[in-house]
Chain A
Amino acid sequence: MTRNIRDRGRRFGARATGHQGWWSGTAVLAMLLIVICAMPAAAQTNEENYGQLEFNFVTPGARATAMGGAFIGLADDATAAESNPAGLVILSRPEISFEYKFIDYSREMYLDENSWLENRKSTISDNASIPAFFSYVHPFERFTLSVYRNETVNFKQSFMTSGPQVGIDDLRLFPVDSSLEMKLTNLGVGGGFKVTEKFFVGASVRYSTFDLNTDLTRWDFDRTSIENRSNVDDSDNAITFNLGMLYTFSPKFSAGWVYRNGGEYDVDWSIVVDPAGANVMLDEKLKFNIPEVYGVGLSWRPLDALVLAFDVVRVNYSELSDNLILIYNTDTQTKDQYNIDDATEVHLGGEYTWLVGGMPLSARAGVYNDPDSSMTFSGDGSGNSEATRIRFPGGDDQVHVTVGTGLVIKDRLQFDAAYDYADLQKQFSISAIYRF
C-alpha cells in the first residue's frame, strides 16, 4: 500500500524523467480504489490549482472600496446590508443600489522547465467582470429591511506549465493545463434595528450558492498523452448569516462590529486516469469551508465634510485547509504540512465632500493590507517535497491603495467610482444609488 501510494503520487505529480516502468490499467484502478475509499469525505485537494485561491471580502460598494474598505464603523448607505447590517437604520428613505466591478488578478508561479532551478516565477493574470452588489432597502419606524444579492467570490485562474525540473533525484513535474472558476453568490434578507438612539443592531440571513468549475490536465513530458485529468463542475448551497452592531458615541464618533460566516459547500470532484490506454474514472466529494470574517471599525467625523474610517478585520483563511484531501504523496506527506494562514487586515480610509452647485461631490482615498492567503507546503528536503513546493510556491502580502469619487444628483441619484491598486490585483468599481 505504501509503495503503491507513493508510486501513484509520482505518477500523478512527478516522476524520474528516464523511468520506464508503467503499471497496467488494472493495477492503477485497484490502487486508486483503495486510496479513494480511505479518503475522508471533505476538503479541497493538494492539486496545484487550489493553491492560490482569491476571495473578495472587501465591503461592497464603490464608496467603501474607495475608502480602503473601511466601512464597519460608518455603514451609512445601502451596502450596510452586507458590510454591517446595523447601519441600515441610519437610512431614512427607501434606496436601491447597484455595483459593478472589474477585477484583474495576477499570480506568480513556476511554469517553465528551468523556472524552479533558476528561481524565476512567471506572472499569470485573469480578470472578471462582476455585478457585485444589488440591494433594496426599506426603512420602517425603528426597523430597516434590506433585500440584496452580492458576489463575495468571483475568481478565475488559468495557467499552463511545461513541467519544471525539481533538481533532486532527476525528478521533473508533469506539464499541466489548469483552469478554475469559483463563484460565491449570496441572496440575503437583512434588517437593522434601533435599540436606543445610539445603539443599533442588525443581521442578515443569506442563501449562498457556491459554484466551482475546474479542469486540471496533467500531460506526459512530450504533451502527447494525458496522464490524468481531474475536474469539478458543480455547485452547492448553504444558509449563511452575518451580524452587526453600531454604536454612535456622538455625531462625530461611531464604532461597529461585524461577523460573517461563509458556509460549507460540497462539490463533486472526479479524476480520469489514462495509463497506457486504460480509462478509469473515480469521483469524490470536496468540502469547501468559505472563511468566516469578523471585524471592528471606528469612524470619526472631525468636520461635517470629512469622515475618516478605520477597520481591523480577521479572515480565517485556515478553514480552507481544515479538511484537505491528499491526492498525491499520501505516504510521505501529511495534511499538517499544507498551511493557509489566517489574515488580519487593517483598513484606513477617508472621504471629503464639497457642495458644488448644491450637489455633494466627494473625494475618497484609502489603504489596506492584504496578507497572503495562498496554500504553502512545509516538508523535508526530499524530491517529492521539493516538487510540492514548486506547485505551492505561496504568494506575497499585498498593500492596496484606493481612490475614488462620488456625486449626488438632484438629491436622489448617487454615482460612485473607485480604483483599488495592488501589485497583484487591480479593481475598478462603479456603483449607483437611487433614493425614493
Chain B
Amino acid sequence: MMARPGRSESGRRWLRAASVCLALSLLLSSAPLIADSWYEEYDRGLKQLRKGDAATAAVAFQAALADRSTPGRRVRAYGMRYLDYFPHLMLGRSYIEMQRFDMAVPELEAALAAGAAPAGEVRPLLEQARQEVARRALPAAVAAADPPPAPSGLLAVSEGVGGRVRLNWNGADGAEYYEVQSSTTGEDWTDERSVRATEPTVLLSGLPRGEIRGRVRSVSTKDGAGPWSPVVTANLAVGEAEARAAGEKFEAGRASMENGRYAEAAAALTEAAAVMENHAHCLAMIGTCHATLHFLKNDPVSKTEAQRWFRRVLDADPSFRLDERRVSPKIVRMLDSLR
C-alpha cells in the first residue's frame, strides 16, 4: 500500500507548524518581565484614576513619562489611534487625589510649562494644590503651651539630576509632624512654600539653580508649633529648568540612537551629560554611540572617545554593566575591559 503524496505533505506541514508552536511555547515560558509602551502605561493610569486608585495611576503615569517625556495634543499611539497625552497633568491630578498636594504642585507647574495641556484645566488644579499646601501648614501664631522642640541635625543635600534638595533631620519628641520651609534668599520664608512631613525627611523639588535654604519645626496638634531649626543651605548647580532642558536633550539623544544616528545622538547626549554629570546611564549611552561608530567605520578617534566615556561611567558607578540584550557584545566587552 503506497502512501498518498498529498497526505504526507499535509502531515509535514502540520509537523512544521507544531514545531513552531512548541518553539514559541518555550520562548514564552522563559520570557522576562518587560516594560509597556508609553500609551499602554498612560491608558492604565487613566483607567486607574477613573477607578479611584490614584496611587496605582501615579505609578503608571510616571512609567509613561519615563518612556515618553514630551506631552502633546493628538499624539499618535498606534494605527489610527491618536490621543491627548498630558502625563504631568494626570500625575498632578493623581497626587491631588492622594492628598499629596506638595507633589502635585511641581507636576502641574511642569504641565503648565510644557504648554500642551489646556491651561484652563491646569491652573485651577495648581491653585487648589498650592492653597492646600498653604492651608495645611499650621499658622505660626498658634499659641503653644509646651510646643515640641526644634528638630536637630538638619542637613540639606542636592538629589537627582537637578532642582531637588532633600532635607533630613533627627526626629523630635512630641512632634506629630514637621513643617518645612525653603527659601532662595533667606528672607522670603512664606507659608506658601511650607511642606508638611510626617517623617524626618522631605524632598523639595522644582527648585531654581543657586543657594537653597531650608528650615524645619516640630508641630503638635495639641501644643502647637515649636521654634524653627537653624537654617541650612544647599548649593544647587542645576535648577529645575536646566534639568528639564537636559532631560529633553537626553530624550532627543535616545531617539537618535534608536534610529541609528549615532553621531547626532552622541552630541545631544553630551549636552545632557554636561548637566547630568554623574548619570552613569547617560555616560554609557554616549560611550555606546562612540563605540558603535568605531565598529561601523573602524574610526580610532571614536574608539578613544568611547573608552574615555566608559571610564567616566565606571568612575560614576564602578558596578555599572551594559545590557547585553540591547548592546553588541563587542561594546559590552570594551566597557568590561576598562573595569
Give chain A's interface residues, CB within 8 Å of chain B: 40, 42, 63, 76-77, 90-93, 142, 193-197, 201, 203, 241, 243, 250-252, 259, 261, 264, 289, 292, 304-305, 319, 322-323, 353, 355, 358, 360, 362, 406, 408, 411, 414, 433, 435
Within B1-29, the residues touching A (CB, 8 Å) are 4-6, 9-10, 13, 17, 20-21, 24, 27-28
**Is B74's CB within 8 Å of the partner chain A?**
yes
Contact indicator per residue, chain B 40-83, by CB within 8 Å of chain A (1) or not (0): 10010000000000000000000000000000011011111111
CB contacts (< 8 Å) of B6 on chain A: these are: 42, 289, 319, 322-323
Give chain B's interface residues, CB within 8 Å of chain A: 4-6, 9-10, 13, 17, 20-21, 24, 27-28, 31-32, 34-35, 37, 39-40, 43, 73-74, 76-83, 258-260, 325
Question: Which of A42, A92, A358, A362 is B80 in contact with, Cβ under 8 Å?
Answer: A362
Question: Which of A195, A353, A408 is B27 in contact with, Cβ under 8 Å?
Answer: A195
**10 shortest A-B CB distances, which residue pairs?**
A76-B79, A322-B6, A92-B40, A77-B79, A76-B78, A90-B78, A92-B43, A197-B34, A250-B258, A360-B82
Q: What is the CB-to-nearest-CB distance from B45 to chain A, in angstroms, rounded to a whole number?
A: 12
CB contacts (< 8 Å) of A252 on chain B: these are: 259
With CB as the reference atom, state the residue of chain B lying closest to A80: B79
Known: A203-B24, A264-B10, A292-B13. A414 touches B74 (CB 8 A): no
With CB as the reference atom, state the residue of chain A lying closest to B77: A92
14 examples of A-B residue contacts, CB within 8 angstroms: A40-B4, A92-B43, A142-B31, A196-B32, A201-B27, A201-B28, A203-B24, A250-B259, A259-B17, A304-B76, A305-B76, A323-B6, A411-B83, A414-B80
Q: Which secondary structure dominates chain B's binding surface?
A: mixed
With CB as the reference atom, state the residue of chain B lying closest to A202: B24
Besides the contacts A77-B80, A92-B37, A292-B13, what 4 more A-B pairs have beta carbons closer than 8 Å? A196-B34, A203-B21, A261-B13, A323-B4
Number of residue pairs spanning A and B whose beta carbons lie under 8 angstroms apart:
89
Known: A76-B79, A353-B80, A358-B74. A261 touches B31 (CB 8 A): no
Q: How far is the CA of A358 from the CA of B82 in the complex (A)?
A: 9
Q: What is the CB-to-nearest-CB distance from A61 to chain B, in angstroms, rounded to a whole number?
A: 10
With CB as the reference atom, state the residue of chain A lying closest to B67: A197
CB contacts (< 8 Å) of A251 on chain B: these are: 258-259
Known: A292-B13, A323-B6. A193 touches B28 (CB 8 A): yes
Q: How far is the CA of A171 from the CA of B76 in the complex (A)?
A: 67
Known: A243-B17, A322-B6. A406 touches B28 (CB 8 A): no
With CB as the reference atom, state the residue of chain B lying closest to A63: B80
CB contacts (< 8 Å) of B80 on chain A: these are: 63, 77, 353, 360, 362, 406, 408, 414, 433
Q: What is the CB-to-nearest-CB distance from A434 to chain B, in angstroms, rounded to a whole number?
A: 12
Q: Is the CB of A355 within 8 A of B74?
A: yes
With CB as the reference atom, state the residue of chain B lying closest to A196: B34
With CB as the reference atom, state the residue of chain A lying closest to B28: A193
Q: How far is the CA of A261 from the CA of B16 in the complex (A)?
A: 12
Q: What is the CB-to-nearest-CB distance from B6 to chain A, in angstroms, rounded to a whole number?
A: 4
Q: What is the CB-to-nearest-CB distance from B58 to chain A, in angstroms, rounded to a whole number?
A: 19
Q: What is the CB-to-nearest-CB distance from A334 to chain B, in angstroms, rounded to a whole number?
A: 14
CB contacts (< 8 Å) of A406 on chain B: these are: 80
CB contacts (< 8 Å) of A362 on chain B: these are: 80
Q: How far is the CA of A93 from the CA of B83 in the complex (A)?
A: 12
CB contacts (< 8 Å) of A250 on chain B: these are: 258-260
CB contacts (< 8 Å) of B76 on chain A: these are: 304-305, 353, 360
Question: Which of A90, A142, A305 is B34 in contact with, Cβ under 8 Å?
Answer: A142
Q: How far is the CA of A197 from the CA of B73 in the complex (A)?
A: 25
With CB as the reference atom, state the residue of chain B lying closest to A319: B6
Question: Which of B20, B27, B39, B260 is A243 in contact with, Cβ under 8 Å?
Answer: B20
CB contacts (< 8 Å) of B20 on chain A: these are: 243, 259
Q: Is the CB of B43 within 8 A of A261?
A: no
Q: What is the CB-to-nearest-CB distance from A342 to chain B, in angstroms, rounded to a whole number?
A: 13
